[in-house]
Structure 1
Amino acid sequence: MWKEFKAFALKGNVLDLAIGVIIGAAFGKIVTSLVNDLITPIIGLLIGGVDLNGLHFKYGDAVLNYGTFLQTVIDFLIVAFSIFLFIKLITKFKRKEENKPPAPAAPSKEEILLTEIRDLLKQKQ
């Protein structure tokens, strides 16, 4: 059972997925900072100096923090758009690699031998 688990855990796809999750978490922090520190204040200035995080609706003891929800939606849209652009860029590079003509193959042993025979025959003439 240990050997099977080790084979599974060390497959390239699992490692790629783990790396993707770690990078995604770090990227999420960057986007959260971008939204919290840059975009949200700009939107707040555009709508009259209102802080989105402070937007809430109170009804009795219940508090609906719809400003926090709006900020989370903005986070999601930015992350989704960034991932879309990243995947589009990667796809563009993959297409360029696929469209490249293959490099000429190295001559086989037979071709090398035939070339040498041809060259020897030319020298004798």
Structure 2
Amino acid sequence: MVSLSTGVIIGSAFNNIVTAFTKGVVEPILAIIGGSDLGTSHLKFRIWERMTTVTEKVNGVEVKTEKLMPVLLDVGSVMGAVVGFLITATIVFFIIVKPTNKLLDLMLKKEQPPAAMPPDVALLTEIRDMMQRQEERGLKGAV
């Protein structure tokens, strides 16, 4: 229970670092490559338009007008979220998961008994031991 709560707290604090790194380092690099900003304001694609009633104040009077408003597909924020997720997953995997698994493997290797022999090897070993015992007793010629 303590491990889970610690993970949640550290994960939420780590989110701020990943967001800052993504916005401050990764997005500018991708902007150089792609020629545009990955922010939510630049990578939007118009899917279609729909009529919407808009209320505006003109000289203190509310005026309702019908306007054709675009419906946008916001690719920039999705790409930013994917990059943030990939950075988080990579760091968590290489900083937390891999070392923990390696440590557990080292601990378990010390505690495990030697592996059991395959059945055919065990049978041959048993036959060899029986023959050696018979030889030691001098019964080899009698059989």
More strand as a share of residues: 2
Moved over 3 A (4+): 97-101
* Higher RCO (CA < 8 A, seq sep 6+): 2
The alignment status of 1:42 with 2:29, answered yes or no, reads yes
Partner of 1:52: helix, strand, or coil? coil
Q: TM-score, normalised by structure 2?
A: 0.55
Q: RMSD of aligned C-alpha atoms?
A: 2.0
Offset of residue 95 of structure 1: 2.1
The alignment status of 1:94 with 2:80, answered yes or no, reads no
More helix as a share of residues: 1
Q: Which runs of 5+ in 1 are unaligned?
A: 1-13, 102-125
**Residues 33-112 of structure 1 aligned to structure 2 (within 5 Å):** 33-48=20-35, 50-53=36-39, 54-58=42-46, 59-60=48-49, 61=69, 62-85=71-94, 86-100=96-110
Q: Which runs of 5+ in 2 are unaligned?
A: 50-68, 112-143
Q: TM-score, normalised by structure 1?
A: 0.62
Which structure's CA Rg is the greater one? 2
Opposite residue 102 of structure 2, the aligned amino acid is K
Offset of residue 100 of structure 1: 4.7
